[in-house]
Structure 1
Amino acid sequence: MLSENEIIEVANTYLTALEPKIGEPLILPQELMIKKDYGIYFIYHSKKYWETKNWEEKLLGNAPFLVEKSTGKIIEFGTNRSMEEYIKEYEAGKYS
């Protein structure tokens, strides 16, 4: 079982790997984290957007993801449904 700090470290490592593909610094806002008994859901943004809230800096296709507490596995979701729907699908076993 991973601690909350270890889960966040896994998420930050994942984000660091995405930065070269996206071409700019990314951020995991703590206030957007959704903590569950089985892991933490993360929503990331470009650092520039998060600091300025300028819509021209907003990323497209920045899909949310989950880091599972028991395994450290990263589950990527899509962008075409709400976060609540992805959570329900995960909890129903769709991503296992």
Structure 2
Amino acid sequence: MLAEQEVIEIAKDYIKKLSQKWEIELTIAEKRSIQKEYGVMFYFNSKKFVEDKIEKAKLIGCSPFLVDNKTGKIIVFGTNRSIDYYIQEYEAGRWPDITRLSDLE
């Protein structure tokens, strides 16, 4: 099992690569992270929105994602339903095990 700091580093690396692809500075909204026994779910958005609270800098389509603490895999969720829906689907084994990290390389 990965240590919490390792999970966080995987999440930060994912966001760094996504920032480069999108050509905008992104950051994790750490206060919104959700700890689960199987990993940590992260939210992110533009740095200007998360840190500086500039509403017009808010991005749409920033899908929350989970870093599995056993494998280090990134599982990307959607944005059109509640987070509880995605958690329930993942826990029931109905959410596809997809990582978009490979799309960024």
* Matched residue SS, 1:40: strand
Cα pair 2:30 2:43 within 8 Å, conserved: no
Q: CA shift at 1:21, angstroms?
A: 2.2
More divergent stretch after superposition (40-49 vs 53-62): 53-62
Runs of 4+ in 1 over 4 A off after TM superposition: none
Q: CA shift at 1:73, angstroms?
A: 0.5
Aligned length: 96
TM-score by length of 2: 0.86
* Matched residue SS, 1:52: coil
Ranges in structure 1 where 5+ consecutive residues have no aligned partner: none
Q: Give deviations 1:11-40, integer Å, cap 9, x for gaps.
A: 000000000222221111221110001000
Ranges in structure 2 where 5+ consecutive residues have no aligned partner: 98-105
In the alignment, which residue of structure 1 is the partner of 2:80? 80
In the alignment, which residue of structure 1 is the partner of 2:101? none
Alignment-mate amino acid for residue 75 of structure 1: I
In the alignment, which residue of structure 1 is the partner of 2:68? 68
Percent identical pairs in the alignment equals: 48
Cα pair 2:35 2:41 within 8 Å, conserved: yes
Q: CA shift at 1:54, angstroms?
A: 2.4
TM-score by length of 1: 0.93
Q: Distance in 2 between matches of 1:40 and 1:15?
A: 14
Q: Distance in 2 between matches of 1:12 and 1:51?
A: 15
Q: Give deviations 1:53-87, integer Å, cap 9, x for gaps.
A: 22210011000000001100000011111111101
Alignment-mate amino acid for residue 89 of structure 1: E
Cα pair 2:67 2:73 within 8 Å, conserved: yes
In the alignment, which residue of structure 2 is the partner of 1:17? 17
Alignment-mate amino acid for residue 17 of structure 2: A
